[in-house]
Amino acid sequence: MGIKYLQPLSRQSFNTLTKITLNQIKLEFGAEVEPFTLHLPVPELLAGAWMACRETLLAGNGARDAKEVVAAAVSTLNHCPYCIDAHSMMLLGSSGNDFETALLDKRLSPFATWASATRTPDSPLLKTPPFSPEEAPSFIGTALFFHYINRMVTILLGPTPLPFTKGTQKKVALHIAAWFFGRSIRLPKESGRSLELLPDTPLPDDFSWATVSPAIAGAYARFARAAESAGTLALPLEVRTMVQQYIEQWDGCDVGLDSSWMDKYVAHLDESQKSAGRLALLAAVAPYRVDNTLIHDFSSHYPGDDLLVAALAWSSFTAARKIGSWLTKESL
């Protein structure tokens, strides 16, 4: 299917970090899937994204099928059909239930309800999470990771990882894929094993929800550092400051198709910075609006797949960590 806007990379060009990370992904996730490999132009982001997913969804406390329900529910909230299909598949492989069936299950449906409220800061549903304090880092971390990866996938991938998009053929493909990934789902996973990929770094204050789990705290500290380094690489300080100011007052709502709000925020930037500012804002809050024209405009000023992936990752992560700031007020 391929990754949009990015040139394929030869395996001969991979550095040691990339090779080790891909080996872990293949063994423990089951394949080098595109939501991870879209980060290949920036190896530290590949490693950071993998460890954030691994230490929460795969190795963290809490039932795997419940965390897959969170992944699918957040992806539904963000209108990311690729991730809905991918984690319906993983849910089927981990429990035998597809996502529709899980929504009717008394044990699993509360996790979907909670995840579906994660873009509504004042929702009363966030006040009674269906997980324990010990499980909170795994479930909050899973939700945050999917708020991040949904944005990246919406921009860079197609509508589904499956060869068919509807009907009986899609259902059959879903079951075959669930069988394929089943062995990796059942493979025991030692907590913290991925932390060796990147050097230790302090955990930012807004990730204090993770401190109950040293492995998840370590993973998100490293991922946050990789994302911030990516932003510094790809986006001028003026653009990053502007996006952070917007995200600070963002309440999770969809901005729709109107652009007047965005024009106001980028008005003070020069032309090259405006192209970066528009891309960054939309990647953060309306990734479905990022199109060929916007990508081409950005890349004409900031050429290279590494800069494009870095800009998208920093913007997506900035939105995800904002969501985390209102989730954790109620969930811990």
Mean pLDDT of 171-187: 89
Q: Is residue 6 part of a domain?
A: no
Q: pLDDT exceeding 90 applies to what percent of the chain?
A: 86
* Helical segments of the chain, H only: 16-28, 34-37, 43-53, 64-77, 81-95, 99-102, 109-116, 136-156, 167-186, 214-234, 237-249, 260-266, 271-285, 292-301, 305-331
Same domain, 249 and 193: no
Q: Give pLDDT tens digits for 93-129.
A: 998 888 888 899 999 999 999 999 999 999 999 989 9
Query: 109-116 and 64-77 helices cross at what angle (nearest 10)?
Result: 40
pLDDT of 327 above 90: no
The mean per-residue pLDDT over the stretch 209-229 comes to 97
d(CA 83, CA 71): 8
Residue where the block lists tokens 């394949």 = 31
Tell me, yes or no, whether 4 lies in a domain.
Answer: no
- Residue 7 in any domain: the answer is no
> Token pair 């913007």 is at which residue?
315
| Rounded Cα distance, 199 and 221, in Å | 10
Indicate whether 208 and 294 sit together in one domain.
no
**132 has a pLDDT exceeding 60:** yes
Query: Structure tokens of 64?
Result: 């795997």
Range 246-252 average pLDDT:
96
pLDDT higher than 80, residue 54 = yes
| 171 and 29 housed in the same domain | yes
Q: Between 191 and 178, where is the model more confident?
A: 191
Does residue 254 lie within any of the structural domains?
yes
Mean pLDDT confidence for 202-211: 96
Domain co-membership, 111 together with 148: yes
Angle at 308 between CA 4 and CA 252, to 5 degrees: 90
248 lies in the same domain as 122 = no
Using alpha carbons, select from 27, 45, 105, 39 the residue that is nearest to residue 72: 105
Q: Which residues contact 5 (CB under 8 A, 6 or more apart)?
A: 156, 295, 299, 305, 308
Q: Are residues 170 and 64 in the same domain?
A: yes
Return the amino acid letter for 28: E
- The whole-angstrom separation of Cα 237 and Cα 223 is 20
Which DSSP letter does residue 97 get? -
Nearest-angstrom CA–CA distance, 214 and 137: 10
Q: Are residues 51 and 182 in the same domain?
A: yes
Using an 8 Å Cβ cutoff, are 96 and 172 in contact?
no
User: Closest Cα partner for 150 from 5, 290, 325?
Assistant: 290
What's the mean pLDDT when you consider all of the chain? 95
What pLDDT was estimated at residue 175? 87
Lowest mean pLDDT across 38-42, 164-168, 191-195 = 164-168
Task: Pick the last residue of a domain from 180, 209, 227.
Answer: 227
Which pLDDT score, from 0 to 100, does residue 1 have? 56
Whole-model pTM: value is 0.96
Q: Would 1 be classed as within a structural domain?
A: no
113 and 185 housed in the same domain? yes
Per-residue model confidence (pLDDT) at position 328: 76
> What mean pLDDT is predicted for residues 273-286?
98
> Does a structural domain hold residue 2?
no
Q: Establish if 5 belongs to a structural domain.
A: no
Based on the fold, state whether residues 182 and 114 are members of the same structural domain: yes
Is 37:165 a contact under the CB 8 Å cutoff? no
Average pLDDT over residues 52-57: 98
pLDDT band, very low/low/confident/very high, at 39 (cuts 50, 70, 90): very high
Q: Do 300 and 325 share a structural domain?
A: yes
Residue 241 and residue 137 share a domain: no
Last residue of a domain, one of 168, 197, 227: 227
How many domains does one find in the chain? 2
Residue 10 forms part of a structural domain:
no
> Is the confidence at residue 69, as pLDDT, over 50?
yes
Q: Tens of pLDDT along 8-37?
A: 999 999 999 999 999 999 999 999 999 999
Residue where a domain terminates, one of 205, 227, 249: 227
68: CB partners within 8 A, 6+ apart: 57, 87, 90, 91, 94, 95
DSSP 159: S
Signed CA dihedral, 240, 245, 249, 254: sign only = negative
Which whole number is the average pLDDT over 184-193?
Answer: 94
Q: Are residues 166 and 204 in the same domain?
A: yes
Evaluate if residue 280 carries a pLDDT over 90: yes
Q: Is the pLDDT of residue 332 over 60?
A: no
In angstroms, rounded to a whole number, what is the distance separating the alpha carbons of residues 137 and 134? 7
Interatomic CA distance for residues 268 and 261, integer angstroms: 13
Q: Reduced to 3 states, what is the DSSP secondary structure of residue 116?
A: helix
CA dist 170 and 315 (Å) reads 33
Q: Quick one: pLDDT at residue 329?
A: 55
Q: Domain limits at 262?
A: 235-331
CA 141 to CA 73: how far, in whole Å? 14
